[in-house]
Amino acid sequence: MSMKAFHSLEGEMIYFQKLSTENAQAIHSYASDSEVSRFIGWNLMNSVDETCEHIELMLKREAAGTHLYTSIVLKSTQEIIGTAMIFNFDDEANKAEIGYVIHRDHWGKGYGTEIVGLITDFAFQTLHLHKLYAYVVDANIGSARILEKNGYELEGRLKDHYFIEERYYDALFLGRIINQ
C-alpha cells in the first residue's frame, strides 16, 4: 500500500518518517497532553510504556494494511511534532479517512495545513483515491480550518456524536472529492 512512499513525503517545513517505538518519548510528549488528546480519539497516554504499546498497535495495523501512519518531523529542528494517518480504507468506494495530531507547541504555525496537503496529494496521486474525509469535533475549530484550507468541504454535522469530558459535541464531517 505504498508505505515507503508515505513515510518519505516532504514539504517545505516538515517531512514524514516511519513511526517507531524508538521515538516513544517524543510521541509521548504530545500523546500525554490532555489538551492535545481531548479531540483526537486516542486515550490520554499516562506513561512512555503506554505510548510505546500504542505505537506497537499502530505498527501492527499498518503491517496488516488497514492503516498508514507516519511521524511528522520539523525540518528546522529534526523534532517529531506529530503523527499523521490514513485509515478506514473502503476499496469499493475508493475512499479513506485522514487524521493528524500535532504537539501543542506547534499549533498555529502552518504545519497542519502542510501536513494535510501532503496527505491529500499522496492519497489522490499515489493511492488514486476518489475521496478523503475527516470527522472533527466541532469545538476543534483549528482542525476544521486546516481541512478547509486544503479544499475539504463541510458535508454534514452529526449532532451530539462525541461525549468528551462529560459533555456532548457535534461531529463535523468534511470531505474532498477528486474526479478521476
pTM for the full predicted model: 0.94
Assigned domain for 164 exists? no
Cα–Cα distances in Å, from 110 out to 13, 99, 107, 147? 9, 16, 8, 12
Q: Domain of 9: which CATH number?
A: 3.40.630.30
Number of domains in the chain: 1
Neighbours of 41 (CB within 10 A): 12
The residues, ordered by sequence, that sit 6+ positions from 75 with a Cβ below 8 Å of its Cβ are: 12, 13, 14, 15
Per-residue pLDDT tens listing for the chain (180 residues): 578 899 999 999 999 999 999 999 999 999 999 888 888 777 789 999 999 999 999 999 999 999 999 999 999 999 999 999 999 999 999 999 999 999 999 999 999 999 999 999 999 999 999 999 999 999 999 999 999 999 999 999 999 999 988 899 999 999 999 865
State the residue range of the domain holding 93: 3-132
